[in-house]
Amino acid sequence: MSERNTVAHFLHDAGLAVWFGGSLMGAVGVNGAAADVDDPRQRARVANAGWTRWTPLNAAAIGAHLVGGALILRANKGRTATQKGVFANTAVKLGLTGGAMAATAYARYLGQKMISAGDVPVAGGTAPTTGTPPEVAKAQKQLKALQWVVPGLTGAVLASSALHEEQQRPTQALTGTLTKLPSMVGTAAAGTIAATKKKVS
């Protein structure tokens, strides 16, 4: 891989931008616009149609983000191991990404339940009415929370990525490496002593 890792960074950043922006637009635009449809029985269909059209592109964006992230992680494995704070930020970012993926998948599962229910009366994409079947109303209530969880988590991943960029500054990299050096030396020395004692015994 080239030293600049341009393709990897593009896949990582563009995929995350689409994932974050699409989920936020869906919560505000698609789910919100469905409430403007006059016929209550057509509101869910409008919201479901929008999300169904979006799902393949969103899946591709998530895939691009994961591939780009894996390539970047491989290219920076040395810095992750030697620079203080990089490993911790990487672990947090992986956790946030996993949470966002789980929330996205569950939201899609709930959306599929709404699609299977057919043209039932609803107040909006994530808001039931008194005439909404209980199982659909339950799914909508869960989706009402998840529609903000996904952009919240992906936004946090964006923040973690921004921190990674800051950690790549020459002064940050040097300071972080020098700060972690004593603990690395101590760990290596402890390992050598333990191995020596094992041989002697």
The domain ranges of the chain are 6-168
Amino acid at residue number 75: A
Can you state the angle between helices 134-167 and 6-25, rounded to 10 degrees?
Answer: 150
pLDDT tens, residue order, the chain (201 aa) = 346 789 999 999 999 999 999 999 999 999 999 999 999 999 999 999 999 999 999 999 999 999 999 999 998 888 777 888 888 999 999 999 999 999 999 999 999 999 999 999 999 999 999 999 999 999 999 999 999 999 999 999 999 999 878 877 666 555 645 565 555 545 544 455 555 556 655
Query: Phi, psi at residue 51, to the nearest 5°?
Result: -70, -35
37: left (phi over 0), alpha (psi -120 to 50) or beta: beta
3-state secondary structure of 2: coil
